[in-house]
Structure formats: C-alpha cells, structure tokens
C-alpha cells in the first residue's frame, strides 16, 4: 500500500492518543509513505502546542522532535511548487478546505498521478477525508472513527 499521511495522522506517531496504535500499524504495512514538505512545520508546531498546553511533557516533546528528525529523511516528501499550490487553491474553493488541508489533498493527488498507482490518504480530519473521497482517493480510517 502506498500511503500519504496528513499531519493529523503523523502526529499520532509521536504523541500517544486515541488512534495511535492503529495508525502505527497502518504505517508499518505501507510499502511507501509520503507527505507534503509542509507537514514538517505543521507537525513541529503541533508538538510545540502539545507541550504548551500540557498535553505532553517538555521532554516528550523534545524526544518526539528527535524521532521526527530521524524518520523524516525516510519518507517521500512531496514538494510544494506553484502548480501544486494552484491546484490546492482550486480544491480549497471547491471543497471548502483550509489552506494546509487543500495542500495535503493536492499533494496526495499529484503523487498518485506521478506514481500511476492508488494512494491511500491517512487523515483524522473529517473535512479533508470527505473531500478526498469525493475526488476518488481511498481514505483511512473509514467513517465512524472518532477524530
């Protein structure tokens, strides 16, 4: 399985929360894992926010950042260029998505087109998941999962 992960799925690799175990299992089954280069800043910001809000301890946040630095080079990183941004803008307008969610959707679609193979989008964002289904991507987890 070729897996594209948005930030809501990636964060579950680094912060123990509902859905983390299932997400780790899914990632282990993937033959290829990709994400947008922008996911790194989103993920770093999410980890820092979790520390500020007391959801994780500062040391946990630092360890998560170290693990991110270690695994980041092993993931396929989809570059964000003018064409991808233009596509994301169209998807945002068409599906009512937030900016980074539209970028994730555009990146997953571009990657799928380049690969010529189906890509599964891992997201815990309901709006992004629904938009992805509407444009023909397979989405994990399926509906009915607490997000």
Q: Could you please report the per-residue DSSP string of 3-39?
A: EEE-HHHHHHHHS--TTHHHHHHHHHH-SEEEEETTH
Percent of the chain topping pLDDT 90: 95
Q: 45-69 b/e with 16+ CB inside 10 Å = b?
A: ebbeebbeeeebeeebbeebbeebe
For the segment(s) 2-140, the CATH number from 3.30.750.24, 3.30.70.980, 3.40.50.1010, 3.40.50.720 is 3.40.50.1010
Q: How far, in Å, CA of 77 to CA of 6, rounded?
A: 12
Q: How far, in Å, CA of 64 to CA of 84, rounded?
A: 29
Could you read off the pLDDT of 77-128 as tens digits, one per residue? 999 999 999 999 999 999 999 999 999 999 999 999 999 999 999 999 999 9
Domain-wise residue ranges, the chain: 2-140
Contact status, residue 42 vs residue 71, Cβ threshold 8 Å: no
- At residue 147 the predicted structure's pLDDT band, cuts being 50, 70 and 90, is very low
């Amino acid at each position: 399985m070729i897996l594209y992960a948005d930030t809501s799925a990636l964060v579950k690799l680094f912060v123990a929360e509902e859905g983390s175990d299932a997400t780790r299992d899914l990632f282990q089954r993937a033959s290829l894992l990709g994400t947008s280069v922008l996911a790194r800043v989103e993920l770093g910001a999410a980890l820092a926010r979790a520390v500020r809000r007391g959801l994780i301890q500062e040391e946990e946040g630092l360890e998560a950042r170290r693990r991110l630095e270690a695994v980041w080079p092993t993931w396929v990183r989809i570059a964000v260029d003018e064409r991808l941004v233009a596509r994301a803008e169209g998807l945002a307008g068409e599906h009512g998505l937030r900016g980074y969610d539209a970028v994730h959707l555009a990146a997953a679609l571009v990657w799928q087109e380049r690969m010529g193979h189906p890509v599964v989008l891992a997201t815990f964002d309901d709006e992004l998941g629904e938009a992805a289904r509407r444009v023909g991507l397979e989405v994990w987890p399926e509906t009915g999962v607490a997000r």
